[in-house]
Amino acid sequence: MNKKITLLLAALILAACSESKNESVNTAASMQNEAYVFDTHYKNVKEVINPEATKNTVTEFFWYGCPHCKAFEPHLETWEKTKPANITLQRSPAIWNETMALHAKLFFIASTMDKFEALHKRLFEEVINLRGKKDLAIQTTHFANVFAEFGLQENDFKQHLASPEIQVQVEQAHTAMKASGLTGTPTIMVNGKYLILNDGVKSHADIMAVADFLIAKEK
């Protein structure tokens, strides 16, 4: 009889230890889920537009003339290589003035070219170096020469700049930027619903960690 009682007590003790361990695991998981907090690390966008087009999409709002965007680009590229297969990375130029509208056109033209990745990186350098030159004609001539290096001749480049298709893309980017409610670049938007708050994180890697958290949250 005593032996049976001893075995029963041992079983109860083991069960209690097991429950305690599971509780610890659940608590850790809960803490991990709460690692990123609404209104601290992310917030709702100002206005949700075109939900179907932004579903399963991570959008980077950027400007070629932004040194922070240039520094962020390698981290975004690293994340892109490991992102979930069903998630699309989309880049969208921020546009606050005519100069940035020109730079947005550069992005959309570059997006149609075979050497987009190399040209995309080059444009960060070129636009940042030209930030002191406000004359758009001078900038346009300069960028025509840059695109010529990548195989797009000056006449074709200027035709693209003036094309209705490129203008529509610029207008769509401007609409998306205004709807997001962003105040600076780079800024990451997830599923057209959440905007990551850069002030709430400590590093570029943290920005994409919040993006991963929001992707999982949306599931």
Instruction: Say what the pLDDT of residue 34 is.
Output: 63
Instruction: Say what the pLDDT of residue 53 is.
Output: 85
Spatial contact of 179 and 49, defined as CB atoms under 8 Å apart:
yes
**β-bridge mates for residue 210, sequence order:** none
The 3-state secondary structure of the chain, one letter per residue: CHHHHHHHHHHHHHHHHHHHHHHHHHHHHHHHHCCCCECCCEEECCCCCCHHHHCCEEEEEECCCCHHHHHHHHHHHHHHHHCCCCCEEEEEECCCCHHHHHHHHHHHHHCCCCCHHHHHHHHHHHHHHCCCCCCHHHHHHHHHHHHHHCCCCHHHHHHHHHCHHHHHHHHHHHHHHHHHCCCCCCEEEECCCEEECHHHCCCHHHHHHHHHHHHHHHC
Instruction: Say what the pLDDT of residue 18 is.
Output: 37
Say if residue 162 is in the same domain as residue 209.
yes
Least confident span in 9-13, 49-53, 203-207: 9-13
Say if residue 19 is in the same domain as residue 50.
no
Say if residue 129 is in the same domain as residue 22.
no
Instruction: Say what the pLDDT of residue 62 is.
Output: 98
Say if residue 95 is in the same domain as residue 25.
no
Say if residue 21 is in the same domain as residue 121.
no
What percentage of the chain has pLDDT greater than the value 90?
Answer: 79
Say if residue 7 is in the same domain as residue 61.
no
Check which CATH number belongs to the domain holding 89 and give it: 3.40.30.10
Say if residue 151 is in the same domain as residue 207.
yes
Say if residue 26 is in the same domain as residue 46.
no
Instruction: Say what the pLDDT of residue 148 is.
Output: 98
- pLDDT tens track for 104-163: 999 999 999 999 999 999 999 999 999 888 899 999 999 999 999 999 999 999 999 999
- pLDDT tens track for 154-201: 999 999 999 999 999 999 999 999 999 999 999 999 999 999 999 999
Average pLDDT over residues 72-95: 96
Say if residue 22 is in the same domain as residue 74.
no
pLDDT value at 219 more than 80: yes
Say if residue 28 is in the same domain as residue 59.
no
Instruction: Say what the pLDDT of residue 35 is.
Output: 84
Say if residue 27 is in the same domain as residue 51.
no
Say if residue 76 is in the same domain as residue 166.
yes
Number of domains in the chain: 2
Instruction: Say what the pLDDT of residue 50 is.
Output: 85
Instruction: Say what the pLDDT of residue 117 is.
Output: 96
Query: The domain containing residue 11 runs over which residues?
Result: 1-34
